Amino acid sequence: MVCHRPRLTIAVVLGIALWWSGASPDLVRAASEEQIKGSIARAIGYIKSRIGSQAGGQLALSTLALLKAEVPPTDPEVANALNRLTGHFRNGVYSPVDHHRYEAGVTLMAFGSADPVKYKAQIEAITAYILEGQEAHGGWFYPPGQHGVAGGVQNGDTSISQYTMLGLWEASRAGVNIPKKSWDRAAAWHLQTQLRDGSFTYHPSPTSANPFGTHSMAVAGTSSLLLARMMLYPEASDLPTEEVEETPATAEAKAAKKKKSTAVKFGILSPAPDDEKEPEPGAAAEPTKPKILQGDDSGYKPAARLQSISNGAARGLKWLAANYKVNLQSGQGGILGQQWNAYYLYGLERMAALTGLVEIAGRDWYQDGCDYLLTMQMTEGGWNMDQAGDAADTCFALMFMVKATEKTIKKTPRAPRKQKLGGGVLVGARGLPDDLSKLQVGQVGPKPRKVKGAVDELLGELEKLDPTQIEAVQEAIVDTVVSEDPEALVGQQQRLQNLSRDRRVEVRRTATWALGRTNNLASIPYLLERLEDVEMSVIIEARNALRFMTRKPNFLELSETPTPEELAAISREARKWYLSVRPYSERDDLQDLREKLP
């Protein structure tokens, strides 16, 4: 396939020249929101036009990129791709086609992004494949006999390890129990292979006299440490940007803090496992999980200390701040002597999302990256920036522009982070508070473009929503209802009910919040449905909406880490309350509700 470079206008040539010469990025015209949206749309079209002829790892990567860009799993090209990916399993065992560990991690992410319930068996099979391939030292490498790799001890591969860990993270979000020992060993390997300056290299080797780090491996290694930290120490506070020495006093204080609250605080919960749902009557029995996924390690104590992991991540962030750039073409050689620019930018987006950084070295990394990518996009809509080729480059560039990891973070609620890194005030990840009822209009921080209009117009925007506008539309709806017109939702009941069942998580969450503000008993069956949603963020919004309607701030209490039994219990409690208050004239589904009670 012949790939053409973009037609170089004077403006594009000037932009590239300024980037390559090291001139201030301020001199490059900032990409507008409309330009970014247009670029995303063209990239989606480019990938969809080629995905039908792809296979293996590239097929998985293209599928993931489209899903992250909010192309629904029911879209013909995506549905076909997912169906072909399910053909890589024989008797419940996963068999990758070509890219092995890479392919496994990306395929797992694609299935998890599409439908973690529908593809649960595939997710578990790939997870077992990844865990069984972890090297004794804690990292991952190519399987023996593939890509010219001989058997015996391997030193590991920072890039492969990044994608296997991303896959395991997706599996954990889908409810698969990932042994903590696996995260612990991975964290230890990254700490051992991190270079003295805080960066990481592709294939760490103890015999290398002068190893040097690269931007792509620095974001890979740092992100992997952040993932391990999240999974081993979910209660950990904000990440320090400088190394901190842990004393017995600080360790004791942290332990005390961990024991404090038992009340649910949205922002620190992990998604509920799929097995929280009771099986349908007559449903087939669940297939037995792979042996490696069985067992309980809730009492496991990691050997990799929290402070060690935090310090390692802080050193990686510090190196990236000191060496910040989005265009690698004129810089130091990367993997095998060449830089992989689009791959790096997706890694940069991931690292920034995991830390909540909106600026690095005083620069808006997202704006800088979009400015650069727009100068490099081909007229057909794709990118062909380095030896990875146009198919992979386009997927990585698209996932950067749609902020793919940030979407995942919002589905895996965490406390907002406020960081400084290399200059500039950082105010946490872009987006609204995790609990919409706590939105304070006018709060300090980066804001999406302001959206105004009547609530019926805003709901129309929500129905046809461009993913780049979700935050602005959410804020406008909450602002209008809370600050301007509490009656604005009158007459919108049917619309909100439909939106509460939307496939998009943030749309369901917004509609659920709004249904609670209608103060209409007809909303309650839809809120009860959302109490059993697959996303914890929606469950919490439904619980909050019911609290608002009942005027009971302690209604439907949950512990900090709710068990399946607790979630089932609050659902039953809510249904009992509803039966006690609903008028008899409207109880046409009374028998349905009773059947769900004990």
Q: Are residues 87 and 23 in the same domain?
A: yes
In this structure, is residue 327 part of a structural domain?
A: yes
Q: How far apart are CA 53 and CA 50, in angstroms?
A: 6
What was the pLDDT predicted at 431? 35
Domain that holds residue 523: 436-595
Q: Are residues 391 and 487 in the same domain?
A: no
Q: Are residues 203 and 325 in the same domain?
A: yes
In this structure, is residue 390 part of a structural domain?
A: yes
pLDDT per position as a tens digit, 80-135: 999 999 999 988 899 888 768 999 999 999 999 999 889 999 999 999 999 999 99
CATH number of the domain enclosing 564: 1.25.10
In this structure, is residue 27 part of a structural domain?
A: yes
pLDDT per position as a tens digit, 537-583: 788 888 888 888 777 777 888 777 777 778 888 888 888 888 777 65
CB atoms within 10 A of CB 103: 25
What was the pLDDT predicted at 358? 81
DSSP code per residue over 169-193: HHHHHTT----HHHHHHHHHHHHHH
pLDDT per position as a tens digit, 189-247: 999 999 999 999 988 876 665 578 899 999 999 999 999 998 998 877 666 556 666 55
What was the pLDDT predicted at 470? 62
Classify 255 as helix, strand or coil.
helix
Residue identified by tokens 């609990």 is 435
Q: How far apart are CA 230 and CA 268, in angstroms?
A: 10
In this structure, is residue 74 part of a structural domain?
A: yes
| More confident position, 180 or 174 | 180
Q: Are residues 71 and 151 in the same domain?
A: yes
Long-range contacts of 32-36 (CB under 8 A, 24+ apart): 33/449, 33/468, 35/374, 36/370, 36/374, 36/401, 36/468
In this structure, is residue 156 part of a structural domain?
A: yes
Residue identified by tokens 């060690």 is 308
In this structure, is residue 425 part of a structural domain?
A: no
Distance of CA 43 to the CA centre of its chain: 20
- pLDDT surpasses 90 at 49: yes
DSSP code per residue over 538-579: HHHHHHHHHHHHHT-TTTT---SS--HHHHHHHHHHHHHHHH
CATH number of the domain enclosing 375: 1.50.10.20
Q: Are residues 462 and 501 in the same domain?
A: yes
Compute, in degrees rounded to 10, the torsion defined by CA atoms 166, 170, 171, 172: 100
Q: Are residues 331 and 463 in the same domain?
A: no
Q: Is the dihedral angle over the CA atoms 387, 391, 392, 395 positive or is it negative?
A: positive
Q: Are residues 406 and 446 in the same domain?
A: no
What was the pLDDT predicted at 39? 94
How many domains, in total, are found in the chain?
2
In this structure, is residue 286 part of a structural domain?
A: no
pLDDT per position as a tens digit, 405-435: 776 665 543 333 334 344 332 222 233 344 4
pLDDT tier, 182 (very low <50, low <70, confident <90, very high otherwise): very high
Which of 352, 377, 411 terminates a domain? The answer is: 411
Q: Are residues 128 and 225 in the same domain?
A: yes
Compute, in degrees rounded to 10, the torsion defined by CA atoms 169, 172, 173, 176: 150
Q: Are residues 403 and 509 in the same domain?
A: no
Whole-number mean pLDDT of the chain? 74
In this structure, is residue 87 part of a structural domain?
A: yes
Q: Are residues 209 and 316 in the same domain?
A: yes
pLDDT tier, 485 (very low <50, low <70, confident <90, very high otherwise): low
Q: How far apart are CA 238 and CA 247, in angstroms?
A: 18
Q: Are 306 and 229 in contact (CB under 8 A)?
A: yes
DSSP code per residue over 446-465: --PPP--S-HHHHHHHHHT-
Q: Are residues 497 and 365 in the same domain?
A: no
What was the pLDDT predicted at 479? 61
Q: Are residues 241 and 141 in the same domain?
A: yes
